Structure 1
Amino acid sequence: MPSRFDWHHHDVEDELFLVVAGRMKMALRDRDVIVGPGEFIIVPHGTEHCPEALDGECQVLLLEPNSTLNTGNVETEKTRLTLERLD
């Protein structure tokens, strides 16, 4: 079953999503982009988007500044104000 995030945008930061495993649909207001393993998409700042794991789970390497709020301009139960660090 697909796992969908929330519609949001980031005022300042661009985001790069690199799919490591699984498939992701990046919903944009004017189109959907399917991203497979080894592929990536860059979402420019100000662009509303809604990532979705198409196969229930998708492993993604997300590159963005550490100041970026994961839900951008909205706060929901998925918002993480404190990020975990991998040491």
Structure 2
Amino acid sequence: MDLNAKFDLFAEHWSPKLVAHLNDYEVKLVRIKGDFVWHTHEETDELFLVLDGQLTIQLRDRDVILGPGQLFVVPRGVEHCPRADAEVKALLLEPAGVVNTGDAGGDLTAVVERI
């Protein structure tokens, strides 16, 4: 699969797109820009792999800054808030059905579509 070709199919930010399944997990691509919402996923960890740009994952006790080729796993139940000053392209790996805004809900909650 050509991930760059998949990214060419969408431009919106904070709207993950499903590109593959791995057992009970979903592989999603997302464009990130600006601030997201503080949230948690009580039942699962969440993996962020940066493909392009610089992503900051804010935690209550520190910031994790990721560049291309770097990943971070947010442990289940840990409150976090992704943000990016300029656009980031990232890959997410999480169990099927995980809601992007976790327990926070709101306007940025995405309906995931397959591309």
What is the TM-score of this pair, normalised by structure 1? 0.90
Secondary structure of the structure 2 residue equivalent to 1:50: strand
Q: Deviations over 1:24-48 (max 9, x none)?
A: 0000000001100000000000000
CA offset at residue 74 of structure 1? Answer: 1.1
Matched, 1:69 2:99: yes
Q: Deviations over 1:32-83 (max 9, x none)?
A: 01100000000000000000113x2000001101210100001110012x31
* Structure 1: tracts of 5 or more residues without a match: none
- Find the aligned partners of 1:66 and 1:52 in 2 and give their Cα distance: 23
- Find the aligned partners of 1:74 and 1:26 in 2 and give their Cα distance: 16
**Percent same amino acid at aligned positions?**
49
Q: Residue 78 of structure 1 is aligned with which of 101, 104, 108? A: 108
* Structure 2: tracts of 5 or more residues without a match: 1-32
Secondary structure of the structure 1 residue equivalent to 2:87: coil
Q: Quote the RMSD (CA, aligned, Å).
A: 1.0
- Bigger fraction of residues in strand: 2
- Superposition misfits of 4+ residues, deviation over 4 angstroms: none
Q: Which residue of structure 1 lines up, in the alignment, with residue 80 of structure 2?
A: 49
Q: Residue 68 of structure 2 is aligned with which of 37, 47, 52? A: 37
- Find the aligned partners of 1:85 and 1:42 in 2 and give their Cα distance: 23
Q: How many residues were matched structurally?
A: 83
Q: Residue 60 of structure 1 is aligned with which of 69, 82, 90? A: 90
- Bigger fraction of residues in helix: 2
